[in-house]
Every structure is written in structure tokens, then in C-alpha cells.
Chains A and B, each alone.
Chain A
């Protein structure tokens, strides 16, 4: 009983701490603004149009640069961040958002300064933007290269490995930006504290780039597995079973987590890294990944041959029934979103929790893994599976239907995994039915 209570306390701490990651990342990004404010009275900063524009330009540059550093650090995929953000997928969402904000801030940094010059001469403003001063050129180069690389992230869909290259090249933009920051002299460069802080962030960001991009093969711990077999589950979904090369070095994971996998030496696919949810139970010796054909890489992945060498990094993710206090739960899967629930169901112990699994698919042929789930349900009276075939029912699964069939939803922990619009619709419906937001857990996975 004592250990059970301890477990609950630890779960509660997780759920509180994981709210702080994003605000903390913002704090690190905005600390330069605090130095900037205490260096000179704010009223003096905004005394005249020129001072106002100079101030905005400086501020945007400083915060943008700090945020750029934080964005890079979030890319290290350190497990430590998971506790703060509530899962690696959320860390990446933060990386994505902060990166975009930093970019916008940095874009406006020279604009404000240029507009300042316009106030008295358009010619001088043009000369400022086209400055041949090497230190300003560092900044211009950083900004233009960043813009080029981010166009591929936001607007032009490149094949994954090319996109990844353009994204990694942003480290070069960052390097140019650092030269600009280091050598440019301004009001700001006179503050030792501010310089020290920015220098600290830059060093940390460089360490992060070295760890994740340049020497990841050396630093990042990866498990060696090999492909045992690939089984087609239906026309679009297949299952890859992987076995550890050395049974003593098997990756331990909590059901519901995901991994990053890179296949080496395959003639079918390149060695790029992709994330996949684990669908095997935690006690199984093999690692099973259930994958839907959604793109170029996954289309070819089903043709890999047994024996292919796989490097597994992980496990990641905080989406698991183990982490939340309520023993009565509702699991809701939309299509391929079933994968974490497959792992969770297979790992269920008797008298572990009470769970109703709603599995929403178009028809029975799409209900991958249903037989496994039914088998678990047959052995465990606390676990129920409710398949929902949208075609037969003539409509989508709704919160109202779940509330009616599962009962007492306000006192249950709700887990959602599926296509983003599906999860959003479900979340809205449950909140409209009076379920507290903190009881709804969803696996938003969008690495890009």
C-alpha cells in the first residue's frame, strides 16, 4: 500500500513539473530584456522616435538571439527535458514554436534599425541595410541563410533527408549570428552581465549542436537491434519486429512510449532517423513498431529485409497510463493512433487499472491489432475494448457516445491518440461535457 501511495506522489510531481518547461524556456529567452531594462531607465529608451526604434531593434535582436539558443538546446533530445515539457513530442513542439518566434524577432531586428535611419534619410537607411561592414554582414548573412533554410521547414516540402540537412545547416546561420553578436559594439555590449549571459547561452547552444548534430554518433546512447521480420497487417499498415543484438542490452520502456530508429546498411531505405511508437508489451523480448504507410520513407520501409541493422534511440514520451493517478481510465484511439494503446494493453497486469478502450476506424479491415486487444480483454476483466466502425455507424465517434457507454467520465483519466483533428474534436467535446483539462492526455506528435 505504501509503495502504491509513493507511486501516486511521483505521478503528481510529474504532472505539475511538466507545466513549467515552456514558461521556463521563455524565461531564459527574456532574461536579456531584464538586463536591458535595468541598464538604463526605460523612459530614456523611448524618449524620441529614434530612441524608440533603436530600443525595439536592440530588444528584438537580444531576445531573438537568446531564444535561438534555447531552441537549439531543446533539440538535444535529452530525456531530462521530458519531465519539464511532458514528453519529447512536446519538447519538439516547443522547439518549433520558439524557433519560429525567434526567427520573426530576428527579422524585425534590422527592420527597426533601418526605419530609424529612414527618419532622417532614406539614403542612409538603404546604406545601412546594404552595409558592407563585415560585422553587420555577419548578421545579414545569418538572417538571409536562416530565411532560406526555414522556407524549407515551413513552405516547401523537401524529401526528409534534404529537409534535415537544411535544418542542420541552420547551425551555420547560428554561427554567423554569434559572430555578429560577439563583435558588434552597441549600448548593450557595455554591460558585462548581459554579455556574460548571452555568452553563456551561446556556449550552451554550441555544446548542444556538438552533442546532437556533429558528434551524436559518439555521445548519444543508442541500442543495437536487428530486424527479425516485417508483417503486413493490412494494405497500409505493417509491423516491424526488432530483436536486441545482445539480449543483455535490451531497451527498457514504459508502455506508450516511442523511439527514434535509424536503419543502417539497407539497400531499401537510407539511414535517416524517424520516430515510431512502440506497440509491444513492456515484458516482451522483442521490440515491435506498428507503422502506417504515410510517406516516402515508410512506403519503402515495409520492404526491408530481416537482419537489417537498426539503431534505436529512446525511449521517449510521457503518454502512458502509468503516469496518472486515476485507476479508472478511458483510452481513445483514432486509426494508427492505436499503437501506444497496443503496448499499454499488452502490458496490463491484473488489477492494475480499469480501462475502456474506444477504437475508432472506418471499418474492420482498418482495425489493426484488434485480435491482440480482444485476447487481453478476454483475460482481464478490468479491460474492455469497444471498436467503433464509422462506416457502419454512419458517423464519427463522439464524446457523448463515450460518456453514455463508459459512464462517470468526469472522474476518469482520458487518453487520446490519433490524427490531430480527431484529438482536437474529442478534447473539445469532453471539455464541453465538463471533464477537466488536466484529465485529458493526448499524444500530439508532429516533429516538423
Chain B
């Protein structure tokens, strides 16, 4: 018993010290500008690529140029996707994607699993939407850089992109209470806090206060609940306050571009790609992929 307790204490301090030291060194480095904050890298994901290629017409020839693992475009059902960042995250292994880079992969996509051909899951389709760059034979639209400030280092965000990205990138959305009310589920949760709209979908799994406390305020004005931790509690910590901007979509009743909303999702993909985010409690997006 003595040995077990001793070993446990040792493990505890080894891990705790390692995490705290590494965390503080990284944090200090970010503050001093030695490291590029992760979310800025995240923000410059697909949107940056999209801006660079703005105006390019998505012809079959153009798509065919992007035919390797590090630069991989797929044509699926008439839509073009840049999945370069996703290739090595594919649950069905990268080598099943790479041969289809630069080609029409519609058939391959719909018949995964060679032995028993099977379509990709709903979640996979939702995930795919995040990599959409335009329709075939359409010019790439520049992505609109959102007005929101660059969020500080903290929790990355992740959404289950329920098709909003299928709209043209220049489309706009009015962040009205009605619009917010349409995002009231665990897989799609928007919330108004202090007049600002946040997309908290990705944060569920990480909320120290559990998912249910957030869920009750999804699609609503959660200011009061936020201030009292679901009623009767203390206000959130300053650390919690510092996390919120990560999920900021815009002010209430403000018109924002869909791509700005999309940005939050893009950043998540970037985080997934960089291996920082491996999924959440309610997240099964690439489970069946």
C-alpha cells in the first residue's frame, strides 16, 4: 500500500509539474511573441488560401493541378473541396484519399469500404462542408475577414458545420434573436452573452461545469446564467472571460458574413489538423469516416 501511494504521489507531481511548467513557458513565450499564437495560425487556414486563389475558375483542369497529399482538391457531386489539411486525419487512412486528389471523387466518396460499399456518414458530410471552396466551373470568392478581434490563446472552437458553408461565401446572416434561437441544440449551440453572440458548440466537452448547464441556455440570451453559473452561483472567472472571444460571432442584431461564422469552424479544422483537438464528448464527426 505504501509503495502504491508513493508511486501515485510521484506520478501526480511528475505530470502536474510537467504540464504547469510547459504550459507557463508556452504561455510566456506567446506573450513575448516568441511563438506565433495558435489561433492566428488557425485563422489563416482555408480562408487565406481562398483569398490567394480568389478569381480562379474551378475548372476540371484547375482541380487536377491539386493532386498530391499536401495539396489535395476533391470534386464531389459538383463541388470542389480543398482537403489538404485533412488527408492525414482521415479515419479511413490517408492512402484511400490520395489517389483521388485532383479528380472527381464522387463515386469513391459514396462507396467507402471496398468490401461492403457504404456511403460516408452524415457527420462526414458535415465535416466535408468545412473544406468547401466553390462549385465546379465557378470562380473562387474571396473570404471576408471578419470584424471580430483575434481571440486570445485558449480553447479552440469546433462546430459541426451543419451545411451553412454550402452557401456562397459572400452570403450574410443577421445575428437576430430569431437566428440565435435556431441554434439551440448540443450539436449547434449559439448563445447571447452581454449583447454578443457566441458559438459555443465546440466548447461543450470542455466546460468544467458540464454540458447541461450550457445546453439550457443554447439559442437564448444566457447573460444571466453566465453571470451566476446557471443560477445561484458565482460569476465566471477572468480566465473564463478570456476564453469567450474565441467563440465570438458578432454583436446581436449585427449583420455578419457567413464566412465570418465559418471562420470559427475553419479554426477548429486547423486545430484538428494540428492535432490539438481530437474530439469532444458529443463529437463523433469523424467516427464513421
Contact = CB atoms under 8 A, between A and B. Distances in A.
A126 B277 CA distance: 16
A338 to B, nearest CB: 28
A190 B237 contact: no
A123 B271 contact: no
A51 B206 CA distance: 9
B154 interface: yes
Contact of B153 (A45, A117, A121, A128): A121
Interface string B211-226: 1110000000000000
Interface stretch (A97-105, A166-174, A257-265, A407-415): A97-105
A136 interface: yes
A47 B277 contact: no
B6 interface: yes
A351 interface: no
A120 B155 contact: yes
Nearest to B1: A100
B253 interface: no
A120 B5 contact: no
Contacts of B9: 107, 147, 151
Contacts of B161: none
Contact of B281 (A51, A111, A121): A51
Interface string A77-115: 000000000000000000011001001100110110011
A118 B281 CA distance: 15
B4 A185 contact: no
A186 B208 contact: yes
B279 A50 contact: yes
B23 A127 contact: yes
Interface in A166-190: 183-190
B66 to A, nearest CB: 28
Contacts of B233: 183, 185
Interface in A105-146: 107-108, 110-111, 114-136
Given A107-B9, A124-B154, A49 B24 contact: no
Main secondary structure of the interface of A (DSSP, over half): helix
Nearest to A48: B279
Interface residues of A, number: 53
A15 interface: no
Nearest to A121: B276
Interface string B42-60: 0000000000000000000
Nearest to A189: B210
Given A104-B4, A121-B154, A186-B210, A129 B280 contact: no
A401 interface: no
A151 B4 CA distance: 13
Main secondary structure of the interface of B (DSSP, over half): helix
B287 interface: yes
Interface in B22-41: 22-24, 26-27, 30, 38
| Residue among B30, B154, B155, B281 with the highest chain A CB neighbour number at 10 A | B281
B153 A120 contact: no
A108 B210 CA distance: 19
A54 B230 CA distance: 21
Nearest to B212: A190
Contacts of B6: 154-155
A131 B15 contact: no
A143 to B, nearest CB: 9
B215 to A, nearest CB: 10
| Residue among A125, A127, A154 with the highest chain B CB neighbour number at 10 A | A127
B2 interface: yes
B37 to A, nearest CB: 10
A150 interface: yes
A122 B287 contact: no
B110 interface: no
Q: Which 5 pairs from chain A and chain B are nearest by CB? A: A126-B23, A48-B279, A120-B276, A186-B210, A185-B209
Given A121-B153, A123-B153, A185-B213, 6 more contacts: A47-B283, A124-B155, A127-B27, A130-B20, A154-B2, A187-B211
